[in-house]
Chain A
Amino acid sequence: MELKNAMLELLRRASTDLAPDVEKAIRQAHKNEDEGTSAKNVFGTIIENIELARKASTPLCQDTGSIICYVDFPVGESEKKYREALEWAAIEATKLQYLRPNAVDPITGKNTGNNIGINAPYMHFHQWDKPEVRVRVMLKGGGSENVGTQYRLPDAALKAGRDLKGVRKVIIDAVHKAQGYGCAPGIIGVGIGGDRVTSYALSKEQFFRALGEKSDNPELAKLEESLLDDLNKLKIGPMGFGGKTTVLGVNIGLQHRHPATYYVAISYTCWAYRRKTMIIKGSEVSYD
């Protein structure tokens, strides 16, 4: 197994091949919309694009996003090895047009042209007890990233208190404000608790949970289900054109908080929800 090439294949698949659970949700949403509406046509175009991207091995979306990578590895492995392999793969994937160059220096405005820069790609490392290595990658588009937001409860304007009722209110507010800007229908990742930073991190990690997979916490599972229903009542629809499907899923995670703080971070991802997992067991590599 050549790690560098496996990483390149992981990036190619993430960019060009939409995950099956997301595709299934989009096909269902297409069926639900009424004939002759803009919403129906938009879903038709989206499905055509999904099929073409997979067949032609070209990016689903021209904004191939920021590369965010999570590596879980056993004792004795080196972080450096995975970082070098991913950087090589990102450069190659950019040359092969699986990725658009998206690393820009904030001071000079200069694009590095190869997706490599300070903290780019961003990598999270985690040592675990299993013998295999798991590499999860997310390509996070800028448009949907811009509609992500964080609330500090209590929120006086929304009359949102420090409880799940308050959490529900701020999620509704965030999705209403997002309208079609983040390429609806979106998937909502929520992180409750922690600090400023970790609530956002938790919200984004929720995107690795499959659509329809319930939270382990029964209270959160109930909230996720009722929010999915309620958010679709907003009728924002695909692209914000109006329609029955505004979100495809709501995944909520929680962590303990400081007594003085109550953060709710909300991350939004577009329908072009690009994530892939690679498992390396000895010399065998599998992708999911």
Chain B
Amino acid sequence: MIKLKTPISEETARSLKVGDEVLLTGTIVTARDAAHKLMVEEKPDFIREHLFGSVIYHCGPVVKKDADGTYSFVAAGPTTSSREEPYQADVMEEYKVRAVIGKGGMGPKTADGLKKTGAVYLHAVGGAGSLIAKKVTSVDTVYKLEEFGTPEAFWVIQVEDFPCVVTMDSHGGSLHKDIMEMSGSIAKELMEK
């Protein structure tokens, strides 16, 4: 098990390989569809310092607001990453992001982006919402909550020992591509049966 702490250096990100299991600690930022569109089209500065050397988490959490105005995460598993494929590589380069956490993997454009920027794609267990919320130790701040709504806002959070698997690395490795090809040839055989 590899322990990763944000900010992550480019050297560390490049040392990771597909199949490595990691425990991530530090600052991460949730961002999904509306957030990625905004980061590509308008390149806002408010999120820059939070993302430098840090991690984007494809997650639309269930969040509780306490009486004192502070927030806590109730359920927070990963959402499908492929929707961010048109944006992800540009976002990583623009904001110097070192890792992206999601589920399902991403395509060739992101794979090239990981190589260029020196970053990795981390896969968390989809659907494990209650369990992953336990790894979120605090919510620092939130951006665009009113405009984007709870699931799509930028939540800046602290996590401790968040478990993930590296499924795409900066050397062109992708578990998702491998499984797609392997299962594709089996599917072809099955259809001919």
A149 within 8 A of B: no
Task: Flag if B176 contacts A179 (CB, 8 Å).
Answer: yes
Task: Flag if B126 contacts A239 (CB, 8 Å).
Answer: yes
A63-B60, A241-B167 as given contacts; A101 in contact with B150, CB under 8 Å: yes
Q: Nearest chain-B residue to A183 (Cβ)?
A: B126
Which residue of A52, A61, A100, A179 is within 8 Å of B127 (Cβ)?
A: A61
In the assembled complex, which residues on chain B have CB atoms less than 8 Å from the CB atom of A270? 126-127
Which residue of B77, B105, B182 is within 8 Å of A235 (Cβ)?
A: B182
Closest CB-CB distance, B157 to chain A, in whole Å? 13
B67 within 8 A of A: no
A58-B75, A62-B62 as given contacts; A176 in contact with B127, CB under 8 Å: no
Closest CB-CB distance, B82 to chain A, in whole Å? 6
Task: Flag if A235 contacts B183 (CB, 8 Å).
Answer: yes
Task: Flag if B104 contacts A180 (CB, 8 Å).
Answer: yes
Task: Flag if B130 contacts A59 (CB, 8 Å).
Answer: yes
B103 within 8 A of A: yes
Q: Nearest chain-A residue to B128 (Cβ)?
A: A49
Task: Flag if A62 contacts B123 (CB, 8 Å).
Answer: no
Number of interface residues of A (CB under 8 A): 55
Q: Nearest chain-A residue to B83 (Cβ)?
A: A146
Which residue of B59, B125, B126, B184 is within 8 Å of A176 (Cβ)?
A: B184
A-B pairs with beta carbons under 8 A, tally: 171
A172 to B188, CA, bound (A): 9
In the assembled complex, which residues on chain B have CB atoms less than 8 Å from the CB atom of A234? 183, 186-187, 190
In the assembled complex, which residues on chain A have CB atoms less than 8 Å from the CB atom of B105? 179-180, 240
Which residue of A46, A53, A62 is within 8 Å of B61 (Cβ)?
A: A62
Task: Flag if A176 contacts B130 (CB, 8 Å).
Answer: no
Task: Flag if B74 contacts A110 (CB, 8 Å).
Answer: no
Contacts A56-B130, A233-B190 known; list 13 others, CB within 8 Å: A38-B19, A46-B127, A60-B129, A62-B76, A62-B77, A62-B133, A63-B79, A63-B151, A104-B149, A142-B79, A180-B179, A241-B175, A241-B179
Pairs across A and B, CB under 8 Å, 6 listed: A45-B131, A49-B131, A60-B129, A173-B191, A239-B103, A272-B129
